[in-house]
Structure 1
Amino acid sequence: MYIKKILVIIAVLGVVAIGIFSYFIYNTIFSPNTQFTTEQASVYVSSEDTYQEVLEQLKPLVKDLSDFDQVARRKGYNVHLKAGRFILKKGMNNNEIINTLRSKNEPVSVIFNNQERLENLAGRVAQQIEPDSLSLLTMMQDPVFLKENDFSPETALSMYIPNQYELYWNTSAEAFRARMLKEYHRFWNTSRLEQAKKINLSPKEVSVVASIVQKETAKVDERKRVAGVYMNRHKNGWKLDADPTVIYAIKKANNDFDTVIKRVLYKDLEIESPYNTYRNKELPPGPIAMPDISSIDAVLQNEDHDYFYFVANPENPGYHKFAKTLRQHNNNRQAYVRWINKMGINR
């Protein structure tokens, strides 16, 4: 009888112990373990991160890092890290957090526009995905890639169509470049290629003219008219005489793309550069900036008119006065010069 009682007591204690252990395990694995107040938080795990670096990033996001560590080690996450962007939701338990970090890489929106050079583009993209700007720029300037895909160092910028793209945060620099090439060919579909052929320009030449249009006017509703002026000049064998190309030539010659030049002087028109359209009838060898889609389409669908000249309109800031004759243009230009002198803009 006595032995039976002892056995019962041992059994009860065993059940209690199992219950306590089970509760501990359940609590460790399945109890909520987040401490951020927002509905969700993003965790970025790079390809080079160690498990300890991931723990450091999680420290402000989880209540009990030790509990998380125990579960992570049991599930083998500490030796099987996954790179990417992962979204933790408020109230997640350790099991859910680990499952998310192992298998739910979320894409990011990569946005870029108005980049003057590949260097600027690489810097902008590096702010949004894992690769640094140097690795991105190296891929963008790779001479073998450029030659294989019919680009040159001068035209390389035209391959990157400004838009919003969904990519995984841990996309490599090479994979980013491949995606952009794919998007370039998708953009230049049959319709746009036919439009380019109709105006007797290649897609790269369209991008060059579009970059000038982009620099001439920020007003989207005016771009087709400005494009029409440049196409009238180009079709008639005139030089484009585009001030933005002179500004670009000056910046390129000085290797200084940060200086703001608001006024082009007569002496500037003499600068020796293939980008100076006051000296060369040919189009510049590449875009002087990244044209956005509205500028590209403005060239492809340029307005059919008889204007050959235009100048900034002081009476309607941001817009321009257009002229069919040089005499009319000179009158418009004199009004602009008087205004710019009054404003004290010397450079």
Structure 2
Amino acid sequence: MLRKLARLLRINRRLHRENENVLRVKLRTDQLHAARTRFAMQVLTVLFGAAVVLFLGWRGVDWAVREFVTENPAFATKTIDLQTEGVLTVEALRKMAGVRVGENLMSLDLARIKRDLELMEFIQSAAVERVLPDTLRIRVTERVPVAQVVVLRPNSAGGYVAVPHLLDATGHVMMPPTRTMVADPTALQIDWLPALVGVNPVDLKPGRQVESTQVRAALKLLAHFERSAMFGRSDIRRVDVSGLEVLTVTTSTGGEITFASHRDFDTQLRRWRAVQDVATQQSKVISTLDVSISQNLPARWVEASSVPAPPAKPAKPAPYRRKNA
């Protein structure tokens, strides 16, 4: 009986110790969980506080920028200093730029103004800058036409109308400006421009560059002609680009000069000048001449007295003379 009682006491003490161990483990687990919860709350509090500070700072900076810069009456645009060496009026350019007096100078998107101007077919480049406190300065370089292409387009009456397209030296296509766009009405005259014939109308997209290699070669020939010794001694009125690797030039006297479109134009122009000098000495006028080959130039000329006097060359309008001066 005593042994049984002793065994029960031992079992009871063991169970008591085990319960104490379980309670201690549970206490430590609860304490760890509480510590983690407090840490998480502290982190969330710090993050929330930082977010509040950042938001208030951002709103404060935004308010300061609007109050002191973008909505400040002191930065209202009072002057739009717009200059160009071309033929377009200041008012036309201002409308293309999309700016007006009174807008806040600091809130203007200068990149957008520059992009909008350079998207215009008449404009080659534009520079835009702020001049504090109230001036917007715009400098424009316009495209100068060097040739024209006349295309027949159908009209509403069922017929066709001749529509001129202008090309600058780089082959960019322009439509002629309207009267309200130019300050000098003489700038509307285009009869002084050489005509390119044989051009595919599909290639003529206003504001885009012509892709035809023959058209580009013709424009290059015109540029070399103006710098050559033939300039002033003859006049190019038309360039036919429909040939294969050749350009056929028609002069004001009706002569036809054939150039190789893929060879050096300066050399070919010197050949033309040499033959022109011989013809002048013999009182003759060139009827046809092929300078695309290097030797034994095929040429045909007629008596100068048998050729009607060429019509007077249309004068280049004054605005373009100033541009090229």
Task: Flag whether TM exceeds 0.5 (same fold).
Answer: no
Per the normalisation by structure 2, the TM-score is 0.28
Q: Which has the higher contact order (CA 8 A, sep 6+)?
A: 1
Per the normalisation by structure 1, the TM-score is 0.27
Rg (Cα) greater in structure: 2
- Relative to total residues, which structure has the larger strand share, 1 or 2? 2
